[in-house]
Amino acid sequence: MAERIADAAVTTRGGRVRTVLFALLIPFAIVLVWEGVKFLGGDPWRIQNVLGLGVSFEHRPPLRIGMASDLSLPHVWEVLGSFFEPVQRRSDVSLGQFLVGAALYTWREAALGFLVGALLGLTLASIFIHSRLLERAFVPYVIASQTVPIVALAPMIVFAFGQGVLSVVIIATYLTFFPVTIAGIRGLTSPDPRALELMRSYAASRWAVFWKLRLPASLPYLFTALKISATASIVGAIIGEGPGGIPEGLGRAIINFNQQYISGPEKLWATILVSAVLGILFFSVVRAVELFVLRGRALAAG
Amino acid sequence: MTDGGGSAGETRAVGDPVVSIRGVHKVFQVADGRTRALESIDVDIQRGEFVSLIGPSGCGKSTLLRLIGDLTAPTAGIVTVNGKPARKARLDRDYGMVFQAPVLFDWRTVEGNVRLPLDIMGVRGRERDRRAREMLELVELHDFARHYPRQLSGGMQQRVAIARALAFEPKILLMDEPFGALDEMTRERMNSELLRIWERTKTTIVFVTHSIPEAVFLSSRVIVMSARPGRITNVIDVDLGRPRNEETREQERYFQLVTAVRESLRGRVDGETPVASPDRTMAEGTIG
Ligand SMILES: Nc1ncnc2c1ncn2[C@@H]1O[C@H](COP(=O)(O)OP(=O)(O)OP(=O)(O)O)[C@@H](O)[C@H]1O
Ligand SMILES: [Mg+2]
């Protein structure tokens, strides 16, 4: 037994090293393809004064691929370099600082929407599993709500609730509650019927059955939904910031840098990169909470 | 609560049954008609008895157990537990239930699982911890208190389920093939353990099994049932001495009783014809 546990530990450690290597390999491969395409078909480029030796290096790609032009696809180093440049001319804030600030701002809105959406989803699911009537009556509308495109709905929400953080949070909530509701219904009804009979034999109240059996049994399902919701809430917040009139977040930054694309495409790319990293980080936080909460159970994947 | 029966228990005469089943019928409505799961069942079970229910698959053993535990209601007839309707007894938390599968909560540790009924019944703090630990010692799993169910073998998990059922000191223990999934060796060891626990706790046990040796070894009475419709065909008093141990399994009388139960199961009860009629069996299409 001890041997098997030790074995498992070794494989997980080996597996973890492999996972990290693999995770680093993918961005490396993306950069390689990216710059490879530009090397073959991008705009000519030169580095003046290589390493301060007074020599300059120039590359003229053999092909011309429109998609690989510096405007469509700026160099990786220009995107990365732009983080250290001023966000606007003569500003003493770098783009990197600005984007981190904007990401934190957007994340706060998203996290709020995520929390409210998760609670709303769980509450709806709890009501639906206790009342077939309400489930039949309302679940179709819950589903229908998700077929309305959020870009159409966002301005209406802003119109109803006014410009400001509240509207943005509502939009994030709107994208968040749905997966939690559906997974919640599934998870809260997942207990073994015999487990429910066991509770019945204890004359346990509905309340006790909910807290001691249904909710814990639903957690693996809920966390799957929460991981979807984590990224969805960030998308919701970014989309909502436009009509919501929030200047501080990533949404406004994306709109602005879109308008200034011709003069600095790398800024938009940098903003997209930061948005993606934000999504991954929020996802990872939820995943970490999941691992902690579900410790001891058979490990849930992903 | 400390000395079992409470006021009702003391005023009743000795020999008043803990479980009394009178004229019980149970019919299930199914898509293609009705299943007569139980018919004309009359049983009395005395305090401290160990009663086994044995019979072919589908004869209604589980249904009878579930009727006693008010997990299902009879179509006709009356089930009385501790002098009150089965439902009242369930709400008074008079019985503990052990299923064929352990049905442990995989997010609770072994100790957490044993505490479950205590948590629900509002037993708190040190009293709760003491009882949980005592029960784990009873089933000899105190070294595994902090393990999770998936880290235990099937037999150990079933012992946790027994400890959980005993934790709130129920007056009746209802066990539905609790050792059905275990190998022969483990099963015999569990049988001895269960008897040890029964002798110490003095609970009344109703025990469903498919195994004739198990029924004879454990019980003070074996109730033999037949299928379609489910009926009681014979009740056999097991007059083996106690405590029972490995030597019991080698006694002449033990073998005689095993044979008696086996013959009852085949329907060869003296002066009685087999109850299951062949046409019914054919019509329902399942093999008992
Ligand atoms: N919920 C139900 N709905 C319909 N029919 C049922 C239901 N429960 C049991 N039955 C029927 O009642 C009969 C008795 O079932 P029961 O489970 O009590 O048998 P059993 O003696 O416990 O069998 P086994 O030894 O296989 O567990 C069977 O014919 C079964 O099909
Ligand atoms: Mg059964």
Q: d(Cα A50, Cα B116) in Å, to the nearest integer? A: 72
- Closest-CA residue, ligand 1 atom 18, reads B60
DSSP letter, residue A86:
B
Share of chain B above pLDDT 70, in %: 88
A43: nearest Cα among A30, A31, A60:
A60
Q: Which tokens sit at A226?
A: 């929460």
| Average pLDDT over every residue of B89-112 | 91
- Residue A302 inside a domain? The answer is no
Q: d(Cα B138, Cα B217) in Å, to the nearest integer? A: 20
Shortest distance between the Cα of A213 and any Cα of chain B, in A, equals 8
Q: Is the CB of B79 under 6 A from ligand 1?
A: no
Same domain for A68 and A132, yes or no, is no
Residue A54 has a pLDDT of 75
Residue B71 has a pLDDT of 92
| Average pLDDT over every residue of A153-177 | 92
Q: d(Cα B50, Cα B194) in Å, to the nearest integer? A: 11
> Distances from the Cα of A92 to the Cαs of A89, A100, A216, in angstroms?
9, 15, 51
| CATH code of the domain covering residue A168 | 1.10.3720.10
Same domain for A181 and A33, yes or no, is no
Same domain for A52 and A105, yes or no, is no
**DSSP calls for chain B:** -TTSSHHHHHHSPTT-EEEEEEEEEEEEEETTEEEEEEEEEEEEEETT-EEEEE-STTSSHHHHHHHHTTSS--SEEEEEETTEEHHHHHHTT-EEEE-SS----TTS-HHHHHHHHHHHTT--HHHHHHHHHHHHHHTT-GGGTTS-GGGS-HHHHHHHHHHHHHHT--SEEEEESTTTTS-HHHHHHHHHHHHHHHHHH--EEEEEES-HHHHHHH-SEEEEEETTTTEEEEEEE----SS--TTGGG-HHHHHHHHHHHHHHTT--TT---SS-HHHHHHH----
Question: Which residue in B92, B103, B120 is closest to A194 by CB distance?
Answer: B103
| Average pLDDT over every residue of B6-20 | 57
Same domain for A120 and A190, yes or no, is yes
Number of residues written out for chain B? 288
Q: Which tokens sit at B17?
A: 């049954």
Q: d(Cα B210, Cα B213) in Å, to the nearest integer? A: 9
Same domain for A159 and A285, yes or no, is yes
Residue A7 structural domain? 2-73
User: With bands split at pLDDT 50, 70 and 90, how would you rate the model's confidence at A66?
Assistant: confident
* 8 Å CB contact between B227 and B288: yes
Ligand 1 mutation target, pool B28, B32, B280, most atoms within 8 A of CB: B28
Q: Is the CB of B113 under 6 A from ligand 1?
A: no
User: With bands split at pLDDT 50, 70 and 90, how would you rate the model's confidence at A168?
Assistant: very high
* 8 Å CB contact between A239 and A171: yes
Q: Is the dihedral of CA B100, A188, B107, A20 positive or negative?
A: positive
State residue A89 phi and psi, 5-degree precision.
Answer: -55, 135
Same domain for A102 and A63, yes or no, is no
Q: d(Cα A57, Cα A158) in Å, to the nearest integer? A: 53
Look at residue B6 and tell me whether its pLDDT is greater than 60: no
Task: Look at chain A and report how many structural domains it folds into.
Answer: 2
| Average pLDDT over every residue of A46-51 | 74
Same domain for A217 and A277, yes or no, is yes
Residue A167 has a pLDDT of 93
Same domain for A45 and A145, yes or no, is no
Residue A263 has a pLDDT of 86
> Distances from the Cα of B188 to the Cαs of A6, B159, B214, in angstroms?
33, 13, 8
Look at residue A300 and tell me whether its pLDDT is greater than 50: no
Same domain for A238 and A107, yes or no, is yes
User: With bands split at pLDDT 50, 70 and 90, how would you rate the model's confidence at B15?
Assistant: low
Residue B157 has a pLDDT of 92
User: With bands split at pLDDT 50, 70 and 90, how would you rate the model's confidence at B40?
Assistant: confident
Look at residue A184 and tell me whether its pLDDT is greater than 90: yes
Look at residue A207 and tell me whether its pLDDT is greater than 90: yes
Give the bridge partners for B45, in sequence order. B19
* 8 Å CB contact between A98 and A87: yes
Q: Which tokens sit at A32?
A: 């390689």
Q: d(Cα A116, Cα B144) in Å, to the nearest integer? A: 40
Q: Is the CB of B37 under 6 A from ligand 1?
A: yes
User: With bands split at pLDDT 50, 70 and 90, how would you rate the model's confidence at A65?
Assistant: confident
Lowest mean pLDDT among A130-134, A226-230, A297-301, B131-135: A297-301
A250: nearest Cα among A262, A233, A264, A263:
A233
Q: Does B103 touch chain A (CB under 8 A)?
A: yes
Residue B282 has a pLDDT of 41
Look at residue B269 and tell me whether its pLDDT is greater than 80: no
Question: Among the ranges A79-83, A198-202, B252-256, which has the highest mean pLDDT value?
Answer: A198-202
- Residue A301 inside a domain? The answer is no
The closest-lying atom of ligand 1 relative to the alpha carbon of residue B72 is: 1
- Residue A81 inside a domain? The answer is no
Look at residue B12 and tell me whether its pLDDT is greater than 80: no
User: With bands split at pLDDT 50, 70 and 90, how would you rate the model's confidence at B140?
Assistant: confident
- Residue A82 inside a domain? The answer is no
State residue B178 phi and psi, 5-degree precision.
Answer: -65, -25
Residue A300, SS3 per DSSP: coil
Residues of A with CB under 8 A from a CB of B: 192, 194-195, 197-204, 208, 212-213, 216-217, 219, 294, 296-298
What pLDDT digit, counting tens, does each position of B216-243 carry? 999 999 999 988 888 898 898 988 888 8
Residue A272 has a pLDDT of 94
SS3 string of A30-71? HHHHHHHHHHHHCCCEEECCHHHCCCCEEECCCCCCHHHCCC
* 8 Å CB contact between A250 and A278: yes
* Choice between B13 and A195, residue whose per-residue pLDDT is larger: A195
Look at residue B154 and tell me whether its pLDDT is greater than 80: yes
Q: What is the pTM of this model?
A: 0.81
Rounded to 5°, the CA angle A124-A125-A129 comes to: 120
Residue A23 has a pLDDT of 84
Look at residue A220 and tell me whether its pLDDT is greater than 70: yes
Look at residue A33 and tell me whether its pLDDT is greater than 70: yes
Contacts of A297 in chain B (CB under 8 A): 106-107, 148, 150
The closest-lying atom of ligand 1 relative to the alpha carbon of residue B208 is: 22
Look at residue B274 and tell me whether its pLDDT is greater than 60: no
User: With bands split at pLDDT 50, 70 and 90, how would you rate the model's confidence at A17?
Assistant: confident
Same domain for A134 and A248, yes or no, is yes
| Average pLDDT over every residue of A254-268 | 90
Mean pLDDT of chain A: 88
Residue A216 has a pLDDT of 95
Residue A201 has a pLDDT of 92
Q: d(Cα A125, Cα A128) in Å, to the nearest integer? A: 5
- Closest-CA residue, ligand 1 atom 29, reads B58
B154: nearest Cα among B136, B184, B179, B117:
B179
Q: d(Cα B168, Cα A130) in Å, to the nearest integer? A: 28
Residue B183 has a pLDDT of 80
| Average pLDDT over every residue of A195-207 | 93
- Residue A90 inside a domain? The answer is no
Same domain for A129 and A50, yes or no, is no
> Distances from the Cα of B229 to the Cαs of B25, B43, B119, B222, B224, in angstroms?
10, 17, 40, 19, 13
- Residues 6 or more apart whose Cβ sits within 8 Å of residue A205: none
> How many beta-carbon contacts under 8 Å exist across A and B?
54
Q: d(Cα A205, Cα A31) in Å, to the nearest integer? A: 58
Shortest distance between the Cα of A210 and any Cα of chain B, in A, equals 11
User: With bands split at pLDDT 50, 70 and 90, how would you rate the model's confidence at A262?
Assistant: confident
- Residue A88 inside a domain? The answer is no
Residue ranges with CB less than 5 Å from ion ligand 2:
B 62
For residue B97, how far is its CA from the centre of ligand 2 (angstroms)?
13
> Distances from the Cα of B6 to the Cαs of A153, A201, B31, B116, in angstroms?
65, 20, 45, 24
A85: nearest Cα among A95, A77, A75:
A95
- Residue A89 inside a domain? The answer is no
Give the burial class of B271: count Cβ atoms within 10 A of its Cβ; 0-12 exposed, 13-18 middle, 19 or more buried: exposed
Same domain for A120 and A154, yes or no, is yes
Mean pLDDT of chain B: 83
Residue A59 has a pLDDT of 84
| Average pLDDT over every residue of B244-271 | 82
B35: nearest Cα among B286, B288, B284:
B284
| Chain A residue nearest residue B161, CA to CA | A198
Q: Does B73 touch chain A (CB under 8 A)?
A: no
Lowest mean pLDDT among A25-29, A121-125, B9-13: B9-13
- Residue A209 inside a domain? The answer is yes
Residue A298 has a pLDDT of 67
User: With bands split at pLDDT 50, 70 and 90, how would you rate the model's confidence at B3?
Assistant: very low
- CA of residue B251 relative to chain centroid, distance: 25
Start-to-end CA span in chain B (Å)? 42
| Average pLDDT over every residue of A109-130 | 95
| Average pLDDT over every residue of B52-71 | 92
Lowest mean pLDDT among A91-105, B5-19, B201-215, B223-237: B5-19
